[in-house]
Structure 1
Amino acid sequence: MKKLICLALSLCSLCACNDSDFLKENADDFLTVDNSYLNASQFRTGLNEFYRIVRQNYNFRDDPNYFFQFGIGTDIMFRPVSDMDMYTDWSLVNSTTDIYRVVYGRHFGMLYNVNTLLKQTENPDVRWSNEAEKLAAQAEARFFRGYCYRYLGFLFGGVPILTEPVGTPSLAYTRDSREDVYRQCIEDFDFAAKNLPVSVTEPGRVVQAAAYHYLAEMYIALGDETGDKSMYQKAIDAASMVIDQKVGEYHLMTERFGWRKDVAGKDAFWDLFQMKSEDGFSNFSYQTGNKESIWVIQVDKFVQGGLNDGLATRTDQERVFWPAFWGTTKFGYDGNARDWTGRGISWVRPTPYFCYDLWGKSGSEDQRNAEFNINRIYRAPKPIVNGVEVDDPNKVYETGVTLEDGTNIVVKLRPGDIIKKEWLTTRQDTMERFYPRIMKCGSDWHYAAEPANGFVMEWYAIRLAETYLIRAEAYLKNDNKDKAAADINVVRNRANAKPVEAADVNIDYLLDERARELYAEEFRTLTLCRMGLLYDRVKRFGYEASAKTVRERNNLGPIPQSVIDANSQAEFPNNPGF
């Protein structure tokens, strides 16, 4: 009995102990943040995950809705198969549209991990080589936090700002203001700009120039949001850090370069978008000599993890943005893709405004509109014999065509003959098969000569040409049209385009120039939402069905209904009109 009393007293003493270290669980037999991230190399593993998640914004699944942010339904592109497709018909966009749930969750999921990793950097058990190593890891993590809030703020406006790990679930989140979201972005990008490395040996890792680029853009956004014009000068200063080579050697590529520089009849702009060679040489990479490249989304068909799980055999630029001319059974084509045709499936078509008006405004000298950069002339192909294309100048293809006036004719073509526009009279002809093909979105060769799954091309997240256009926007809004025109003309000069006069520079001209330079690169939808001009530009320049259905509410995306429902213990209003 005495022994039992002593044991009971001992247990009482143990339970009464308030020493938190004594009570803390030691996770010796399973992984936690506390024991998984204890040195720089382990933090590198965690940081690499953020790059993988960002890559999902560029190449996620075979579904055109996942490419909405590139500008589907805006002034420059639309879904052509049916006028009832999402974004072609803007009335179909609402708070239950699933893509908004996907991107909202993707970026808040990354924010959770960023904040968790940042907290761990302050754990005294972490073995840093020096303070600079710690600051660099924090800077990289904060770059991605800024990236997330930039995306969310541009698309949705105000969202909850979280800068600490979330320990317990909550049903009472509320929306912070868009202004505060932008200020958080500026704080994070400013820290990243000061503490990231100037250069790296690993392609695709972010550097100071990337942070300064986004910092400049965020200062413009904050100036627009608050009316504080001093922000525009700060944007100019941030962009100048990159343009003036204060954070690394950057310049536009004006001479032929890369592994295909000897291909005749092309230019440096064409070289920028050549797929990685079979032996791994990347034209996109800063490390191989592309000094215009600031941040590139990395993909590789031949490396484990080099592509996303949802699309593990290819990237989708070609399928999304190229027409399916190979799929016709007219004019000598047999419905099978060839190595040089690629395998576009016309998910997204450039608008008439992009195809014609925008280039008419730019002038005929603009090489970005040259045939080798935008293919407008389609020709009858060579015949295939025993699975191989052969030269046969005597081959004649006969195709029955009904002209627009109802006349039936038989078109006879030899290989290489031009397919005339007046023979393209069906909706499928002009909407899916034959329309201007933006060559930077695809390739005239494919791995193993296999167009279905042999296309894998990197993406530019940031290119110096855009930094010039960001600074031009800041100059314009800071009432300095002369310097705005000068920056725009640096970009235009590379294309041999006629310089713009300062008097002609306005926000419409700037957006036109962004389209000419950055089509299928920039997230056009986010740019227009940032400026509050999506409705205006679509109404004036969008495809007819898009222009009829777009509403002012579309200047922001809808907050996902699932997010509103999850915050049942607080007011979480949707954006106006939704």
Structure 2
Amino acid sequence: MKANQNTIKLLTFSMLLPLLCACGESWLDPKPLSFYEPGVALSNTAGLYSALSTCERNMRHEYFGDGAPILTEMIQSEVAVEGTTDKAGPQMNMDISLLPDASLNDVNYTKVGWYWYEGYKGIKYANTTISRINDATFKDEAEKNAVLGAAYFQRAYRYFKLTHQFGDIPYMDWEISEPKYDFYSYDRWSILERMRKDMEFAYQWVPDKVDRGRTSKGACGILLMKLCMVLGDFDRAIEVGKEVVAAHPLMTKRFTANQSKARTNLMHDLHSVEAKLDISNTEGLMYVVSYPEVDGSDRIQTMRNGVPLWSSGNIKTPDGQTGTSITIASGETDPEMDLNKTYGRGIGRLRPTWYFTNEIWRADKEANDLRGIFNRDSWRKMEDLLYNNPSLKSSGNQWYGKNFVKSPSMSVEDTIRLWFSWPHYKLFVPDPLQTQWAGGETPWYIYRSAEVYLLIAECYYWKDQPQLAAEALNVVRNRAGASPLTAADINIGEILDERARELYYEENRHLELVRISYIYARTGKPCEIFGGRVYKLDNLSGPGGTNSNVKQEGYNFWYDRVNARSNFYNKGVIHKWAEYKISVHHILWPIPASAINTNTKGIINQNIGYPGAEKNVTPLKVPEEGTVLGPQ
């Protein structure tokens, strides 16, 4: 397909990214050539890898900082909800907060828009390398293909997310050097087919041993698996998965200096800063990096986001006194009394659901699971914390140093934000350069071998081979100390439960539920956990039309799963600022109105259920060969 066929050109990043709105046209002025002129800087392997480092940096932003975008992915699932209950606006009532013209990229609302804008930024940076690959000099063909494969990964990584978050989307496959205003939506399936082809190439050529934070063969393998799965090629996904885990076995023995610390175990080792820096760690397939005390690094702030707001003055002793303080009493030497440095100063943005904190941890199967609530070293509940307010000590109050006791008169708002348990081993990241510990600098896992085993198990589920699915799940469960599963235990719920146990704050949970929703709808496989319900592609987002906030089961697996497992959405939890609500069409997020409205010469489709969808046209298809924007 040529770029000018059907008057189709892909929309400029000035339309997808609101970057040029605040700029003049000085960027068009000619500049003197220098080493940093793209034709010079991108003329060899080092230069092209430097360009890709921008993609890798942007991957980090998803997980780092206050209100990190990964929270939105978790909140739009059954494992967690928005916990900020002291104001209006955050993503609780999705019928209001998820509208095309809402504030979609704000720490106080939602980061849905972040995925749109940053996704296309990553595609832009990857396309720069892809477009210039033939103009650069390499020592041999293998080196060239390794660079190209890494660029393919970065592009496919974004398209995989975007097609599962937003459905049919604009497609670009070449460097764009001037503004364009004529984007059209492309069929998500054809985008995914093309990304699969690219990832087969990347999996063949990208090396396995790379610097931490760079794209590895293993990372290419797991993304290729996911592409194969959503396209229905489960045998190829299993084949790749087995190759990846053979090269990257799980860490099954303690391997960091944490093993000498009290109240730690293998899970603390695996998720510690030390483990993510340790080159002997065979399990990590892809990381984003932020190194402790290195200039330019960022803070993960997992504790700020995911730990309760214990420092609120609303945590009271049974006799009504303020129970907690960030500052400890003078002369206090018990580290458990320093709640700030022992647990982190949380604000409860990410409020886990009862499903995650209780339902998936069964006394008969996960009693010895190192990842779960029965392990008091790994998990913490509010009753584990000690009243530490210095005023209690100075006044001789009997509750100083005693365990928290929940007040029977605690408000709904405080119950949501101040009182829940959490996986301490996963969220605790030392933050020694700060007065208030929110979660410091650390690498973070994007992909691990543990997830590969879970994907292999899921493939066997789709192939109706439950015994093999159980065996794959048990590799991960055995490492954690959980009881093994049998073929009779296997269903999609069990697989998703295991993902929640293993991958909290790592996986894009909403995206994975959507991925599974598409597979159900495309294959027609009856869903056993919902009475053999069969889903269809043609009404996945519901009936559409005006006032389409439909809350009816049977349209898509994502809605049914979240509605069945989240004790907030299915019980209509209300606090003084909002009611927790989701609708069927929220399986896909709204395309930001600014992207559609500024695309004056083309048509970007809006997702069914949102205002503007009535203007949709048939999406285009990505050609099997050649490019849309580049040379044919």
Q: Is the TM value for this pair above 0.5?
A: yes
**Residue 539 (structure 1) aligned with residue 524 (structure 2):** no
CA contact (8 A) 1:62 1:316 kept: yes
**Aligned equivalents of 1:33, 1:303: Cα separation in 2:** 28
* Secondary structure of 2:275 counterpart: coil
Within the candidate set 366, 369, 382, 1:366 is matched to: 369
Shift of 1:286: 5.4
**Aligned equivalents of 1:300, 1:105: Cα separation in 2:** 26
* Secondary structure of 1:367 counterpart: coil
Within a 5 Å distance, the mapping from 1:48-197 to structure 2 comes to 48-59=53-64, 61-63=65-67, 66-82=69-85, 85-92=89-96, 93-97=98-102, 98-99=104-105, 100-123=112-135, 126-197=136-207
Shift of 1:339: 1.8
User: In angstroms, what is the RMSD of aligned CA positions?
Assistant: 2.6
**Aligned equivalents of 1:424, 1:193: Cα separation in 2:** 57
Q: Deviations over 1:92-141 (max 9, x none)?
A: 21112423333212111221221122121101xx3322222211111111
The TM-score normalised by the length of structure 2 is 0.75
Which AA in structure 1 matches 2:379?
A: I
CA contact (8 A) 2:340 2:437 kept: no
Greater Rg by CA: 1
CA contact (8 A) 1:73 1:542 kept: no
Shift of 1:379: 3.4
The TM-score normalised by the length of structure 1 is 0.81
CA contact (8 A) 2:303 2:343 kept: no
Which AA in structure 2 matches 1:175?
A: S
**Aligned equivalents of 2:90, 2:514: Cα separation in 1:** 18
CA contact (8 A) 2:122 2:158 kept: yes
**Residue 221 (structure 1) aligned with residue 230 (structure 2):** yes
- The 4+ residue runs of structure 1 with deviation greater than 6 A are 394-397
Q: Deviations over 1:208-258 (max 9, x none)?
A: 0110111111111112xxxxxxx011111111110222xxxx122221111
**Aligned equivalents of 2:55, 2:293: Cα separation in 1:** 21
Change in CA separation of 1:164 and 1:340 when aligned onto 2, cut-off 3 Å: same
* Secondary structure of 1:462 counterpart: strand
Within a 5 Å distance, the mapping from 1:493-572 to structure 2 comes to 493-532=478-517, 533-545=557-569, 548=572, 549-572=581-604
> What residue in structure 1 maps to residue 265 of structure 2?
267
CA contact (8 A) 1:255 1:267 kept: no
**Residue 356 (structure 1) aligned with residue 370 (structure 2):** no
Change in CA separation of 1:303 and 1:114 when aligned onto 2, cut-off 3 Å: same
Within the candidate set 266, 276, 281, 1:284 is matched to: 276
Q: Deviations over 1:392-419 (max 9, x none)?
A: 9x98864xxxxxxxxxxxxx4252x332
* Secondary structure of 2:287 counterpart: strand
**Aligned equivalents of 1:381, 1:324: Cα separation in 2:** 14
> What residue in structure 1 maps to residue 218 of structure 2?
209
Shift of 1:425: 3.0
Which AA in structure 2 matches 1:241?
A: E
**Aligned equivalents of 2:127, 2:269: Cα separation in 1:** 39
> What residue in structure 2 maps to residue 402 of structure 1?
none
Shift of 1:577: 0.6
CA contact (8 A) 1:466 1:514 kept: yes
CA contact (8 A) 1:73 1:79 kept: no
**Aligned equivalents of 1:543, 1:95: Cα separation in 2:** 27
Change in CA separation of 1:382 and 1:31 when aligned onto 2, cut-off 3 Å: closer
**Aligned equivalents of 1:486, 1:213: Cα separation in 2:** 19
Shift of 1:265: 3.7
**Residue 257 (structure 1) aligned with residue 261 (structure 2):** no
Change in CA separation of 1:539 and 1:233 when aligned onto 2, cut-off 3 Å: same
Within a 5 Å distance, the mapping from 1:423-502 to structure 2 comes to 425-443=410-428, 445-448=430-433, 450-452=435-437, 455-502=440-487
**Aligned equivalents of 2:432, 2:400: Cα separation in 1:** 29
Within a 5 Å distance, the mapping from 1:331-410 to structure 2 comes to 331=317, 332-336=323-327, 338-360=340-362, 362-369=365-372, 370-376=375-381, 377-381=383-387, 398=397
CA contact (8 A) 2:150 2:206 kept: yes
**Aligned equivalents of 1:62, 1:413: Cα separation in 2:** 33
> What residue in structure 1 maps to residue 235 of structure 2?
233
> What residue in structure 2 maps to residue 293 of structure 1?
284
Change in CA separation of 1:186 and 1:212 when aligned onto 2, cut-off 3 Å: same
Q: Identical aligned pairs, as a percentage? A: 25
Shift of 1:352: 1.3
Q: Deviations over 1:265-287 (max 9, x none)?
A: 42211211223xxxxxx311351
CA contact (8 A) 1:448 1:454 kept: no
**Aligned equivalents of 1:153, 1:497: Cα separation in 2:** 35
* Secondary structure of 2:257 counterpart: coil
Shift of 1:327: 3.4
Which AA in structure 2 matches 1:326?
A: S
Which AA in structure 2 matches 1:297?
A: V
* Secondary structure of 1:544 counterpart: coil
Stretch moving more, 519-528 or 444-453: 444-453
CA contact (8 A) 1:321 1:441 kept: no
Within a 5 Å distance, the mapping from 1:415-430 to structure 2 comes to 415=401, 417-421=402-406, 425-430=410-415
* Secondary structure of 1:327 counterpart: coil
Which AA in structure 2 matches 1:294?
A: L
CA contact (8 A) 2:379 2:423 kept: yes
Task: Structure 2: give runs of 5+ residues left out of the alignment.
Answer: 1-29, 106-111, 318-322, 328-338, 518-556, 573-580, 611-632
Shift of 1:147: 0.6
Which AA in structure 2 matches 1:161?
A: Y
Change in CA separation of 1:491 and 1:449 when aligned onto 2, cut-off 3 Å: same
**Aligned equivalents of 2:465, 2:394: Cα separation in 1:** 60
